[in-house]
Structure 1
Amino acid sequence: MNECVGAVRVMGIDPGLTRCGLSVADGGQGRRVVPIAVGVARTPSDAPLEDRLLRLSNAAEQWMDEYQPDVVAMERVFERGNVSTVMQTAHAVGVLVLAAARRGLEVHMYTPSEVKKALTGNGRADKKQMTAMVTRILGLGEPPKPADAADALAIAICHCWRAPVLRRQRMTMEALEKQRRLAGKDSERK
């Protein structure tokens, strides 16, 4: 965890095999989010699948090692109508989740509509609206480019805002489990 209480460093990923948006942002008190880094990992479409996946994995691992996120937030793969694109994205997600797992990082998945609703209040917001909100929320002088980079930042923001709720839910579940275990021990003693 970062220095301030409740802070979380999130690596936001917009997965893709040709272009994969990568970002890192620190979430703090309230809805404050500070961008740390943003970029895009690219792989050549004419390279063999195994080479592309290795390049993508290496890029994500380099970011994880350099920026030391507490958690990874990623767009959930969904049916876009093109099975080939979905399969390529699913391959990318697999190596990205594996890279996070190797470092003991939790991975949280969000659908595009969840991210859009979190940032704009509208689950059907278009790319232009999303980029404008990312720019405004982060106080950037200009919109992040390309769109994959802006999407990665949007995913990181979404998780930064949801992290406190998720943390409270986890703490509540742990407290309930502890009570259940103690109640079980008490009943065994009787």
Structure 2
Amino acid sequence: MPKRASRILGIDPGFGTLGYGIIDVVTSRVELVSYGAIYTKPREPIPDRLLKIYSELKNIIDKYSPSEAAVEELFFFRNVTTAIQVGEARGVILLTLREKEVPIFEYTPHQVKQSVTGYGRSEKGQIQRVMMKFLGMKETPKPDDAADALAVAWCHFLSRSFPGGARKR
């Protein structure tokens, strides 16, 4: 059995729902490891929600030992409150990854969609279907945030072959 070359943790930042996806890269082959979401409750105090994101992300990192992390950058939000909350969650994500000494790479939503579907404005359903096919999944990855996180990990996998698109933190 070949040794895994690297394990990539993809993260779709969110405050209520944070998606994560983990893939192994063995030479040019990609294998699905895990995916899911971290959920916080809307009525909980903001510091408690951020602590939950921190604690659960730390547990995921400890369990799966990623060698790299790919995080989607923020995009335009119409709702300022949502943008601030997702920004706070993203700060916790970056802090947790840095604390666990996982190298961080960042991609815009456009870069992620372009790398997965070839079109930078593709819809969520298309991302889900393509990731399902690429990773040999029998079911559509749910929630959408987890499918997006797998797409972020996939984008990083491709950018390693064609460097220049990633921004390393």
TM-score between both structures, scaled by the size of structure 2: 0.92
Contact 2:23 2:32 in 1 (8 A): yes
Map 1:50-129 onto structure 2 (within 5 A). 50-129=47-126
Contact 2:77 2:83 in 1 (8 A): yes
One-letter identity of the residue aligned with 1:27:
V
SS of equivalent residue, structure 1 residue 78: coil
Stretches of structure 2 lacking an aligned partner (at least 5 in a row): 165-169
One-letter identity of the residue aligned with 1:158:
C
2:167 aligned residue: none
More helix by proportion, 1 or 2?
1
> Any idea what the Cα deviations from partners look like across 1:135-177, whole Å, max 9, x if unmatched?
000010111111011111111111112124449xxxxxxxxxx
Q: Which has the larger radius of gyration?
A: 1
Contact 1:14 1:149 in 2 (8 A): yes
More strand by proportion, 1 or 2?
2
Give the paired residue count. Answer: 164
Aligned-residue identity in percent: 36
Stretches of structure 1 lacking an aligned partner (at least 5 in a row): 168-190
One-letter identity of the residue aligned with 1:69:
P
1:178 aligned residue: none
- d(CA) in 2 for partners of 1:23 and 1:125? 19
Offset at residue 70 of structure 1 (A): 0.5
- d(CA) in 2 for partners of 1:166 and 1:11? 18
One-letter identity of the residue aligned with 2:73:
R
1:166–1:105: structure 2 CA closer, same or farther, 3 Å change rule? Answer: farther
> Any idea what the Cα deviations from partners look like across 1:36-74, whole Å, max 9, x if unmatched?
011110000111110000000001000000000011111
* One of 8, 18, 21 as aligned partner of 1:20: 18
Contact 2:3 2:26 in 1 (8 A): no
